[in-house]
Chain A
Amino acid sequence: MPYILNTEKDIQEMLAAIGVHSMEDLYAHLPREILISQPLQLGSGLSEQEVDEYTKKLAEKNTPIAGFNSFLGAGCYEHYIPAALNYIISRAEFNTAYTPYQAESSQGILQAIYEYQSYICLLTGMDASNASLFDGASSVAESVLMALRISQRKKVLIASTVHPEYKKTLQTYLSGLDFITTEVGCGEDGFVDMQALCELSSDEVACIVLQSPNFFGLIENNEQLCAAARSKGVLSVLVTNPSGLSILKEPLSQGFDIVCGDGQTLGQEMHLGGPSFGFLATKNSFLRQMPGRIVGKTVDTNGRPAYCLTLQAREQHIRREKATSNICSNQSLNAIAAAVYLSLMGEEGMRQAGLYALNLTHYLYEQMKEIKEIRFPFSSRFYNEFVWQIPNAQKVIDKLYKKNIIAGFYVGNFYPQLKDCVLSCCTEKKTKEDIDSFVAALRETALA
């Protein structure tokens, strides 16, 4: 029997020690009515070889993104991941351990998470980071709940340019609670409408959630937006792509109070969108309202440096119904992978990746500009993705798909008013050849 070590002899000895005769006796005290009377229909079990062969066939029914010339981004990005990363995080002492409750036998995990927290602070400029959350969407929800606790106010503003799935998630998280969420629209240029933000901000509003680069790839006027919010005592929450922070200004200096987002761009495979991890960083003054685990550095009884989980009095296992969040397990292994990724890439590697993505995306944009059927509804102040418009965009996307090109994300799926708009992305993985062949195919399709 797979994964069971007890032999028939062991089992008999153990049953005898317990004082029962059979395995069934072990649960004879369960009510009859709830027991399964017929064998389950789960098959008879497969050999490892069969499982291997069967699942391989299943995997082959999927076309990896690498099999396309893909310009898909929209919240999940294809980056190069150094080979050493998978090697490190596959180590059993990371992969098969649990939350480091016992500090003395988990110093490596704790230090790695402390390093992760430090990395998030270095990238965002913020003072404090937790040990990770589930993903970008839930990190937004947790950030908003945190802002509501800090401010004790009842209203939430969220920019319409925040990832629509994140907005939807926030809505779900708040659905049981007594808060009002209002969307702040964007102007025709794709940026958050400053005037609307000013009008909607008031002393009843807890926070404004901005995304920059926003869902359309645009880099928002963060400093002005934060200043406008601050003047009404409204906290500013930023949702961002952490890899973009290799070139974009650190959020703390722009006036943000809480920074969150999805860490997928820091060394995580896409695997259909999960697992990656959510991050959340804030200022010292708010750190006690942060949800989730936090690792701190301290000393052992001999005065040597040591690490442990800290500020646990905020958490559900201690505070129960008064906890800052119900989160228990997070995405530690993904967070540790991010620390390893940033260590491998280093200052220069991250800067290069950011700069290459910026250049390649703008190169694509310049090339597309040559095609007269294509319009650009928004500003060119973008990082690694941008929106373009073409008549019959969905047909164009389908035609290109037949040529093995994924042009990007059809924006109309989320914003019905943005008809015929496509969001395309380049990371450092794209080449000039990829872009040129995409543009050539696009030109051909547009002419047809």
Chain B
Amino acid sequence: MMERKVIFEKSSSGRKASYIKKPEITLRQAEEILPKDLLRKEVPLPSLGELEVVRHYTNLARLNFSVDTNFYPLGSCTMKYNPKINEKIAGLSGFTNIHPYQKEDSIQGALQLLHHLEQMLCEITGMKRFTFQASSGAQGELTGMLMIRKYHRIKRNKKTKVIIPDSSHGTNPATSSMCGYETVVIKSTPQGLVDIEKLYNATDDSVAAIMLTNPNTLGLFEENILKIAQIIHEKGGLLYYDGANFNPLLGIAKPSLMGFDVIHLNLHKTFSTPHGCGGPGAGAVGVNEKLLDFLPVPLVDTKRNKFYFNYRVKHSIGRVRGFYGNFNVLVRAYAYLLRLGSPGVVRVAQNAILNARYLSSKLKSYYQLASLKPSMHEVVFSCTKQKEKGISALDIAKRIIDFNMHPPTMYFPLIVSEALMVEPTETESKQTIDYFIETMIAIDKEIKENPDIIKNAPHNTPVTRVDEVRAARQLDIRWKKNGD
């Protein structure tokens, strides 16, 4: 196969595609307007024609697996179908071509959308208000935890620690550190739930909060959630809900009823906005009464039937980004909720659980379940039996690619050895899940019959297994004109 060139190597001096019009004023050279020492001598960008660029990136696109082309059961990422109507709506010029500092009277539609979306999310979660500033789940965590920090500061509570289960996403402890808190890790029970006794013993007056994902990263619902809330609240701590796994609770249960004080929802997971190779996402952060005064500014409110940006929040933490958030992601989430309505959201949750549970029931005799508790939206297998025979979770994941499916999340949660975390989502059909099941069974058989085919997988991809060790040791993270 011919080596794929980087775009820079396709440049031909003199080739150009001009896109912009020349102004009808007398053009001066930059040196005539600005001091020469402020200007650069050359712009080291390539010169390409449109066809070259389109072909280059179209061919790059074709090398990827995506939801539209492949089953993508990447656990904890909720790779559900991204409805195309949402893309069409998000592309309307009334949504794309608006400036953040335009007068409010010229963006009433956008503000109404934000206001209504907030109301819908309040209805779904039971929280009192939402902010849409955060651009991702992790930034949502930072927003929520900074609110908790300020809440304790205003109340003069001396809080230094945040409790995090060992099954948590890495973003939780990282966020806790960014807020200046010490992280206390609670070991899970053998079945993968929060160990209530350990939690009780670890919770003292210095605990600011617990950060909890529910269902947790093993796909299990923390059935003692009310007890957990009681333990934390009794010591004056707050409950942070990492909504990464909210999909199976949509329309079924509310975080507010579980005792959570602040939550984030990943709109790019549960609310169907596309993942875009890893962003843009949106982390909607919702709070109960306790934290209303701490929300970032601005919020969208109404006055005399007009929507406006409200900057008056008593103890606001300020802002976590410029402007108002990833608006065009919010447009998509809004369209999704309009389309689903109340009956639709319940069906999402039910089918998400159904698909995962079905998959688990069919595969549990081949791959060991990480927990015997009933799974919610995703199921975690531990490939230890396979590992004993010389085939790792990584090998299995790579072999799945040969069957035209994206592998599940590997080696996470960290508390499960040889973990494969499978999240089929509600938008996949029984037939697709059956194909995945058959494939997994076939791979298990191959371990005995033809292990090399697994160890050398994937076979049909543009490249074979990639040398990640070399990537880190001989760093090459940018193209240079004359090589290295």
Contacts and interface: CB of A to CB of B under 8 A. Distances in A.
A396 to B, nearest CB: 14
Q: Which bucket holds chain B's interface residue count?
A: 35 or more
A10 to B, nearest CB: 4
Interface string A98-111: 11111111111101
A62 B179 contact: no
Which of B137, B138, B320, B471 has the most chain A CB atoms inside 10 A of its CB? Answer: B471
Contact of B322 (A137, A293, A311): A137
B442 interface: no
Given A61-B94, A118-B479, A104 B398 contact: yes
Interface string A323-348: 10111111111101001101111111
A35 interface: yes
A102 B34 contact: no
B453 interface: no
Interface string B390-423: 0000000110010000110110100000000000
A352 B18 CA distance: 9
A152 interface: no
List of 3 A-B pairs having minimum Cβ-Cβ separation, nearest first:
A273-B323, A45-B341, A59-B94
Contacts of A66: 93, 97
Contacts of A135: 135, 321-323
A96 B339 CA distance: 20
Contact of B341 (A43, A307, A431): A43
A316 interface: yes
B66 A94 contact: yes
Nearest to A145: B178
A431 B22 CA distance: 9
Contacts, number: 704
A113 B358 CA distance: 37
Given A80-B19, A109-B64, A358-B30, A275 B342 contact: no
Given A94-B64, A306-B467, A432-B24, A62 B98 contact: yes
Contact of B98 (A30, A54, A271, A322): A271
B155 interface: no
Contact of B85 (A48, A60, A262, A345): A48
Contact of B97 (A107, A128, A269, A326): A269
Interface in B1-37: 1, 3-4, 6-8, 11, 15-25, 27-30, 33-35, 37
B102 interface: yes
A412 B464 CA distance: 58
A371 interface: no
Interface stretch (A167-175, A183-191, A197-205, A226-234): A167-175
A262 B321 CA distance: 11
A447 interface: no
A17 to B, nearest CB: 6
B302 interface: no
A58 B114 CA distance: 11
Nearest to A44: B341
Interface in B220-236: 221, 223, 225-226
Interface residues of A, number: 205
Nearest to B166: A320
Given A5-B432, A321-B177, 18 more contacts: A18-B354, A27-B253, A30-B253, A62-B108, A88-B58, A104-B401, A111-B63, A138-B139, A219-B34, A275-B279, A277-B280, A294-B477, A300-B464, A308-B468, A317-B412, A339-B7, A346-B46, A359-B25
Contact of A108 (B60, B101, B248, B279): B60
A234 B37 CA distance: 23
A301 B463 CA distance: 8
Interface string B363-393: 0000000000010100000000000000000
B317 to A, nearest CB: 5
Interface in A144-196: 145, 163, 165-166, 168-169, 171-173, 175-178
Interface stretch (B47-55, B197-205, B284-292): B47-55
Contact of A310 (B74, B320, B465, B475): B475
Given A109-B277, A111-B60, A176-B178, A4 B351 contact: yes
B221 A381 contact: no
6 contacts: A91-B58, A93-B62, A94-B61, A296-B475, A343-B7, A360-B23
A344 B50 CA distance: 6
Given A3-B83, A359-B33, A59 B95 contact: yes
A317 B341 contact: no
Nearest to B334: A55
Nearest to A299: B467
Given A13-B430, A114-B6, A310 B34 contact: no
Contact of A165 (B277, B278, B323, B361): B323
Interface string A46-66: 101011101111111111111
Nearest to B52: A343
Contacts of A100: 64, 277-278
B170 A363 contact: no
A98 B268 CA distance: 10
Contacts of B70: 105
B136 A432 contact: no
A331 B280 contact: yes
Interface in A239-277: 245-250, 262, 269-275, 277
Given A107-B462, A271-B95, A347-B43, A428 B467 contact: no
Interface in B291-331: 296, 317-329, 331
B159 to A, nearest CB: 11
Given A92-B67, A118-B8, A343-B46, A138 B339 contact: no
Contact of B464 (A14, A104, A319): A104
A325 B174 contact: yes
Contact of A18 (B94, B281, B358): B358
A63 to B, nearest CB: 4
Nearest to B350: A23
B349 to A, nearest CB: 8
A31 B225 contact: yes
B401 A105 contact: yes
A127 to B, nearest CB: 8
Contact of B72 (A51, A68, A98, A113): A98
A106 B427 contact: no
Contacts of B465: 104, 300-301
A343 B53 contact: yes
A43 B342 contact: yes
Nearest to A122: B44
